[in-house]
């Protein structure tokens, strides 16, 4: 049987294309990686479904709270300013300023979830709070809002999500963890929490939620981490 592509031909072809790409190594590599990131985001969006819920691990898999890492980017632990309230705005019919009490009076969602950090560790905890989709409904988010931006009082830490992941039923604004109110190390008084994104997308110490028509960046995303970061 005649062979169409021998291994030898394939190797020569590969070597030639590598040599070509090497002409302007750095910018070619950057363009290649940027293109592949866009491709990976497309795959990520195809895989994503708002109906696919993260399975709840058994209570025996709960991570001891002391072993659950907590990160912030300020020099010292960010503490909520007096009179803290959450601003919800952007392209919404009824912009709102919500106190913690008002948020707690909204329908509550609780879940035991495995958290995945970009670094490669995972940890299980229970979180409770209010679904972001409830808040989107309450403020009347526009149909044109394709992105949601989350801002914090942690030295400007922020992130932006696609609307589909933001409205996933397990994407919540959490004020409770493991049966107690959220502590400052995990983002008190209010943090974004969801199993559908890596940890760095789950902004702690929230101050603002903005529904946006265009894409914005994020603290780590602006430094080169992948923007979509689906789990």
Partner 1 sequence: MAGSGLQIFAAYPALGPLGGKYRWYPFQDDAPPSWLRFGGWLAGARHWHFAIAWFLILNGVIYFIYMVASGEWRRRVFIPTRDTSNAIAMFAYYLRLRRTPPPEDFYNGLQRMAYTSAILFGLVVVFSGLAIYKPLQLHWITAAFGGYDFARVVHLSCLVLLALFTMMHLVLVALHPRTIVTMVTGGPRG
Closest CB to partner 1 among 107 and 179? Answer: 179
Among 78, 195, 199, 218, indicate the residue that binds partner 1 (CB under 8 A). Answer: 195
Q: Any residues with CB less than 8 A from the CB of 156 and at least 6 apart, and which?
A: 73, 219
| Strand ranges, E, within 117-216 | 122-131, 147-152, 158-162, 172-177, 180-181, 191-193, 206-212
Judged by CB under 8 A, does residue 117 bind partner 1? Answer: yes
Binding residues among 23-52 for partner 1 as defined by CB under 8 A: 32-33, 36-37, 39-40, 44, 47-49, 52
Q: Is 68 a residue that touches partner 1 (CB under 8 A)?
A: yes
Least distance from partner 1 to the Cβ atom of residue 35, Å: 8
Q: Do the Cβ atoms of 153 and 203 come closer than 8 Å? A: no
The residues in 125-184 that bind partner 1, with binding defined as CB under 8 A, are: none
Please count the residues of the chain. 231
Min dist CB 144 to partner 1, Å, is 26
DSSP class per residue in 30-44 = HHHHHHHHHHHHHHH
Among 139, 182, 196, 203, binds partner 1 (CB under 8 A): 196
> Does residue 73 sit in helix, strand or coil?
coil
Chosen residue from 31, 61, 99, 110 binding partner 1 by CB under 8 A = 61
Q: Report the C-alpha gap between 71 and 84 in whole angstroms.
A: 21
Distance CA(177)–CA(183), nearest Å, equals: 8
Q: Is 226 in the site for partner 1 (CB under 8 A)?
A: yes
What does the binding site for partner 1 look like in residue numbers (CB under 8 A)? 1, 3, 5-8, 11, 32-33, 36-37, 39-40, 44, 47-49, 52, 54-55, 61, 63-64, 66-69, 114, 116-123, 195-196, 220, 223-226, 230-231
């Amino acid at each position: 049987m005649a062979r169409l592509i021998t291994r030898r031909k394939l190797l020569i072809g590969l070597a030639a294309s590598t040599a070509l790409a090497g002409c302007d190594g750095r910018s070619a590599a950057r363009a290649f990686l940027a293109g592949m990131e866009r491709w990976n985001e497309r795959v990520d969006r195809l895989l994503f479904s708002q109906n696919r819920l993260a399975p709840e691990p058994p209570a025996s898999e709960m991570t001891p709270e002391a072993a659950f890492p907590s990160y912030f980017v300020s020099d010292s632990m960010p503490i909520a300013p007096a009179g803290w309230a959450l601003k919800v705005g952007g392209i919404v019919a009824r912009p709102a300023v919500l106190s913690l009490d008002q948020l707690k009076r909204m329908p509550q969602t609780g879940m035991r979830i495995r958290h995945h950090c970009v670094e490669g560790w995972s940890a299980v905890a229970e979180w409770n709070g209010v679904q972001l989709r409830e808040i989107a409904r309450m403020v009347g988010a526009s149909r044109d809002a394709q992105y949601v931006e989350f801002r914090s009082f942690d030295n400007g830490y922020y992130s932006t999500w696609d609307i589909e992941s933001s409205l996933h039923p397990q994407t919540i604004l959490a004020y409770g963890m493991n049966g107690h109110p959220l502590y400052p190390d995990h983002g008190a008084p209010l943090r974004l929490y969801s199993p559908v994104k890596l940890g760095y997308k789950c902004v702690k110490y929230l101050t603002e939620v903005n529904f946006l028509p265009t894409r914005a960046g994020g603290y780590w995303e602006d430094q080169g981490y992948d923007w979509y970061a689906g789990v």
